[in-house]
Structure 1
């Protein structure tokens, strides 16, 4: 008789996340990947402009959004089925290989727009699985009480990548054209792969554990989503099986089996879980959750009211006010500084009391500031208002993201992130051409005011739903 010794799973860190080497390795990988993304888009836009007309370049830049929006729900299923770390590592490896291949081709030839369009489509497809997995990964590298702090650290990483990535991309183009910039992007993405491999996964609670009380409706046993096992396994697994493989005793893995029935009872046929059933289970889980369902509605309304005015609307406002490109740059920088300060606050504090109410109040305050931005005449006042928008909207976004992380059952987190990602990356960008057309018809004041109302409705929903209003972050 042999005895199998199972190494202990990685335990949650005793100290804060910003002092945990495991979290810092994840953050370094995420930051490198985001900087690489920024450099990639600079290289892609420059290569597209040099290879075709402005309209063709715009089509190349937009084509990646289509597969990303269409496939992201499936990407959430993939992240939950195979494990977020495995999916993120694979996604970064594919993106790195694709970008470096295009860089090599551009060094030796001029393939034209078709290659750039193909690369954009590949990025969009990979992003559809990468983004849900990225959202699900923090819950596997730290404890629930540190997820809010990690959300703040992630926000700081995004701001840092935005500030550093664009100049790096421009430097790459200046030194050797688009090929050099693509090569730089590929190398930055490649840095994330060994860092992610070195990140240890922690034991996660079984599905339906911590948050079952927050779910109004539960799925029946036959349709249950993948459940974790309580057995302690080796690093990288909550259950002792390879990362992302079905847990022992899992009721819905790819090779799931129904429980044994009593003697004499009719045998129940096997019902192996499918990707489609996993998707339906995830949507049912979100719909029945008393916090997540209204939270995603809040996020959707906030993004729909925010994206249009603060992107295309701001450029049109600066043009009509005569602020010029430098004035618009100052306003954008002020917004970024405010959002960075909000992320820093959450990373430093780790939690805020009454997170649901605080997020709703910040969203309402940010919506008022959005409406006020179109009424200020000078650049100085606009900078102050933009700073307030960044601080309030950034705080609301960080708190909503932290609640999304802490309220979601880890077994469903990829699908929850995918639904929220579709709202932010699929629906919200559609408001930009509508905002531009509306400003042409009615002017900046009414359009900014209407967007502020939509954004404010998100805060109203959060305050009106008791469970979301009373939601707290773990301490």
Structure 2
């Protein structure tokens, strides 16, 4: 006797396991984002050292995102994700262990944080590279998988800070870091158990050896690591849609960080709203964004991608900066967060689906690593930009400058033909053979 629902459920176990692992990982990351800086600040009293810790983590993460892609393709995304989580358990776990034994010097802390960042680069790339196999196994649209992942990310942003604050306040920063370390182990275990049915072997790239009668011969030896990396970069830069999206997202990440790291805190101080208003803004925005992502996961396949992209960025971009600049009441700010946050929830499902449909399966690791690194590349300068603008022209003009720069960056695709390749219909038409 067969049960019709059993097989689809079994097919989706890897996807559900991966989503659960992502939820745990993102919550753990949010905990460490607050607990580690607080640990440094309370033990050293130095804001400069606190900033150095953040730099020590993000720099190797971006570099390994860029250069670790071929390793993900060679090892296989599943094994790489599990290995990175396991090693992260050890690296992050050493921080509270050494702290409690009194042997955690600042140079050692910098080294451990740098190792954790270096592992996060290829680890994040590997979990992303698993998506095509998960989608194929579960037989769901890309929008469904990327939409659910986006909803989980937004939800973690909403509640992760509250959880982190509560943990740090009740059990201390070092013990909160220990919980983050344990989350890596739990993620690795979940992936081991739930994704057994996925292909675990990496690709075996080979190097071309000339041609005979116009047909390439192939040596029975692996292509070099540099050649794989170069192939990934060549593919990315030649794909007008993907490269355009990378440049656009890099610029919006720069402007978003200027807002969140400098402009928003200065607004909270100068307006008298206080630090509680910052948390409220992030919580409302994150919650609305999570709901938007859930709706996108359910109905994203029915929406035209390019039009959805333009409308979502139009709503989530400029209005946010204008309302802060003109000094509207907090209730109006929060109402904007509901609308803008919900709109932002549609973006990642659309952009993720476009990305995975355009990248060949054997190149997913290296291309997504490079594209992710490009998208993150300007973020370290966001705080500097915000600080320079506020110091030079004041808060309200700075908000308007950043807001209109955001508008120009996100609306420029309306004038750039390559972006219209995001739509499924046009991509499908492009694949049709041309009659002689």
Counterpart in 1 of 2:190?
195
Q: Is the counterpart of residue 279 in structure 1 residue 229 in structure 2?
A: yes
Counterpart in 1 of 2:172?
177
Counterpart in 2 of 1:236?
198
Q: Is the counterpart of residue 25 in structure 1 residue 25 in structure 2?
A: no
Q: CA deviation at 1:271?
A: 7.0
The question of whether the paired residues in 2 share the 8 Å contact of 1:308 and 1:432 is answered with yes
Q: CA deviation at 1:26?
A: 0.8
Counterpart in 2 of 1:355?
305
SS, match of residue 202 in structure 2 = coil
Q: Is the counterpart of residue 134 in structure 1 residue 127 in structure 2?
A: yes
Please, which of 106, 124, 146 is the counterpart of residue 151 of structure 1?
Answer: 146
Counterpart in 2 of 1:393?
344
TM-score, structure 2 length as denominator? 0.86
Q: Distance in 2 between matches of 1:382 and 1:266?
A: 61
Q: Is the counterpart of residue 48 in structure 1 residue 40 in structure 2?
A: yes
> If each structure's helix is expressed as a fraction of its own residues, which one has the higher value?
2
For residues 116-127 of structure 1, what are the structure 2 equivalents within 5 Å? Answer: 116-127=109-120
Residues 1:386 and 1:376: Cα distance change in structure 2 (over 3 Å): farther
The question of whether the paired residues in 2 share the 8 Å contact of 1:346 and 1:352 is answered with no
The question of whether the paired residues in 1 share the 8 Å contact of 2:36 and 2:173 is answered with yes
Q: CA deviation at 1:105?
A: 2.3
Q: Distance in 1 between matches of 2:386 and 2:87?
A: 35
Unaligned stretches of 5+ residues in structure 2: 1-5, 429-436
Unaligned stretches of 5+ residues in structure 1: 1-12, 202-234, 247-251
Residues 1:314 and 1:286: Cα distance change in structure 2 (over 3 Å): same
Q: Distance in 1 between matches of 2:216 and 2:23?
A: 55
Q: CA deviation at 1:438?
A: 0.5
Counterpart in 1 of 2:89?
96
The question of whether the paired residues in 1 share the 8 Å contact of 2:300 and 2:349 is answered with no
The question of whether the paired residues in 1 share the 8 Å contact of 2:142 and 2:353 is answered with yes
Residues 1:473 and 1:116: Cα distance change in structure 2 (over 3 Å): farther
Q: CA deviation at 1:329?
A: 2.7
- For structure 1, which segment, 383-392 or 128-137, has the greater mean C-alpha deviation from structure 2 after superposition? 383-392
Counterpart in 2 of 1:307?
257
Q: CA RMSD in A?
A: 3.0
Q: Distance in 2 between matches of 1:81 and 1:267?
A: 22
The question of whether the paired residues in 1 share the 8 Å contact of 2:155 and 2:287 is answered with no
Residues 1:304 and 1:100: Cα distance change in structure 2 (over 3 Å): closer
For residues 360-371 of structure 1, what are the structure 2 equivalents within 5 Å? Answer: 360-371=310-321
Q: Distance in 2 between matches of 1:159 and 1:366?
A: 14
Q: CA deviation at 1:285?
A: 0.7
Counterpart in 1 of 2:379?
428
Q: Distance in 2 between matches of 1:293 and 1:16?
A: 37
Alignment length (residue pairs): 416
